[in-house]
């Protein structure tokens, strides 16, 4: 028996079934006065080409390489990679104690430009142009799978100076890592546990539940569903879930790739209209590890984590109790979803 959730007026905890961690929800705190930091609204007035941008076609990068005159997407090895492929392999622990533990980590860090245009964003690109970006992601996943030591491919985009993006040129990062990243380890453990207990997929079941309940649904089509998840931590966080049980981007059929392009365009346009600015966020995909056998538990999805809370100028910080205790949010996922849903209902694609 499902009962309607009745804790929306009082503080409560919600479980994130993907990570097994709790989020504290404090809807009553929204009424408190704000005397904290106010971010200046970012007015972006960019030209389509910036001679000083290291991502624009034809320009020089650090280290002397020059970008080709690319006309669609373009991928290159990061000139300042966080991970390196050619390093000595170190032992797992010193053996003297249990608190000094280190393991060598090999990896490949690439940068993927979405477009030659310096002034575009996913929200301002056409569905066809975003489809080319998805094809680039899939090609990269397949290429990194051929590297003997790569076990996971993490694709992510940091959008906006507020998220630490150093360059407004539309681009993402693609990291092939030797070990599974922390978030992926947590999710894989939960997805496996759920599959074993229920003989069905956690995200298939969750997408079906949210479609039926509709209160956290932002929009959906035949290929993807977008929700503010029940356990969302960031104010306008969304989860994009494939409507079909596919383990990774590479297994998306052409119709699924097109659906994903439409979905990415629509949610980013919706975000831009929420506070009337080019919306900052970190987003990325979670999918099955590469070259590790079959993973019936994995279900392709993407997370959008935007930091803005109440306007273009008020952002959420993860500090205090959240760093030392449990992440906490004020605005409920249901009210965030209602605002996004209302905006998305007015937005068409192209």
Residue with tokens 């979670």: 286
Measured between alpha carbons, how far is 53 from 49 in angstroms, rounded to an integer? 8
| Residue numbers 3-42 binding Zn ion by CB under 5 A | none
- In this chain, which stretch among 151-159, 164-172, 223-231, 316-324 interacts with Zn ion, using CB under 5 A? 164-172
Cα 100 from chain centroid? 32
Q: Is 171 a catalytic residue?
A: yes
Question: In angstroms, what is the minimal distance from the CB of 187 to Zn ion?
Answer: 5
CB atoms within 10 A of CB 83: 15
By rule CB under 5 A, what string of x and - marks binding of each residue 291-330 to Zn ion? --------x-------------------------------
Question: In angstroms, what is the minimal distance from the CB of 56 to Zn ion?
Answer: 3
By rule CB under 5 A, what string of x and - marks binding of each residue 186-225 to Zn ion? -x-------------x-xx---------------------
Backbone angles phi, psi at 167, to 5 degrees: -145, 130
Give whole-number Cα distances, 197 to 15, 190, 247, 297, in Å.
Answer: 17, 11, 19, 12
Question: In angstroms, what is the minimal distance from the CB of 118 to Zn ion?
Answer: 3
286 is a site residue for Zn ion (CB under 5 A):
yes
Q: Which is nearer to Zn ion, 248 or 312 (CB)?
A: 248
Question: Which tokens go with 199?
Answer: 């003989």
| Residue numbers 219-248 binding Zn ion by CB under 5 A | 245
Q: Which is nearer to Zn ion, 206 or 279 (CB)?
A: 206
Tell me if 121 sits within 8 A of 159, measured CB to CB.
Answer: yes
Give whole-number Cα distances, 230 to 13, 85, 189, 206, 338, in Å.
Answer: 11, 39, 20, 10, 13
**Radius of gyration of the chain from its Cα atoms, rounded to whole angstroms:** 21
Measured between alpha carbons, how far is 59 from 81 in angstroms, rounded to an integer? 19
Given 171, 286, 299, 303, the catalytic residue: 171
Q: Which is nearer to Zn ion, 55 or 111 (CB)?
A: 55
Measured between alpha carbons, how far is 156 from 153 in angstroms, rounded to an integer? 10
Measured between alpha carbons, how far is 307 from 216 in angstroms, rounded to an integer? 19
By rule CB under 5 A, what string of x and - marks binding of each residue 82-121 to Zn ion? ------------------------------------x---
Q: Which of 56, 232, 260, 277 binds Zn ion (CB under 5 A)?
A: 56
The binding site for Zn ion (CB under 5 A) comprises 50, 53, 55-56, 118, 169, 187, 201, 203-204, 245, 286, 299
């Amino acid at each position: 028996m499902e009962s309607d959730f009745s804790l929306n007026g009082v503080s409560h905890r919600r479980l994130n079934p993907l990570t097994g961690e709790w989020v504290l929800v404090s809807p009553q705190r929204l009424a408190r006065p704000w005397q904290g930091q106010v971010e200046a609204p970012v007015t972006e007035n960019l030209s389509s080409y910036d001679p000083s941008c290291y991502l624009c076609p034809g320009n020089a990068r650090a280290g002397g390489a020059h970008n080709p005159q690319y006309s669609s997407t373009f991928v290159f090895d990061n000139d300042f990679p966080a991970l390196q492929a050619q390093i000595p392999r170190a032992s797992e622990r010193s053996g003297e104690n249990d608190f000094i533990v280190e393991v060598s980590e090999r990896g490949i860090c690439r940068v993927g430009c979405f477009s030659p245009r310096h002034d575009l964003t996913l929200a301002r690109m056409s569905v066809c142009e975003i489809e080319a970006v998805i094809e680039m992601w899939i090609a990269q996943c397949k290429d990194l799978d051929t590297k003997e030591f790569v076990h996971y491919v993490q694709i992510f985009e940091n959008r906006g100076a507020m998220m630490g993006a150093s360059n407004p040129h539309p681009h993402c990062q693609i990291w092939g890592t030797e070990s599974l990243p922390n978030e992926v380890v947590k999710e894989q453990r939960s997805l496996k546990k759920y599959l074993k207990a229920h003989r069905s997929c956690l995200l298939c079941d969750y997408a079906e539940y949210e479609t039926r309940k509709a209160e956290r649904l932002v929009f959906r089509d035949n290929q993807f569903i977008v929700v503010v998840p029940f356990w969302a931590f960031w104010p306008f966080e969304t989860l994009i879930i494939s409507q079909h049980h596919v383990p990774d981007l590479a297994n998306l059929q052409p119709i699924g790739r097109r659906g994903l392009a439409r979905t990415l365009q629509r949610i980013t346009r919706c975000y831009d209209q929420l506070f009337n600015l080019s919306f900052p966020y970190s987003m990325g995909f979670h999918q099955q590890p590469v070259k590790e056998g079959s993973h019936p538990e994995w279900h392709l999805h993407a997370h959008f984590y935007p930091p803005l809370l109440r306007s273009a100028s008020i952002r959420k910080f993860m500090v205090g109790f959240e760093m030392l205790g449990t992440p906490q949010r004020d605005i409920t996922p249901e009210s965030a979803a209602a605002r996004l849903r209302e905006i998305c209902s007015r937005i068409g694609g192209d």
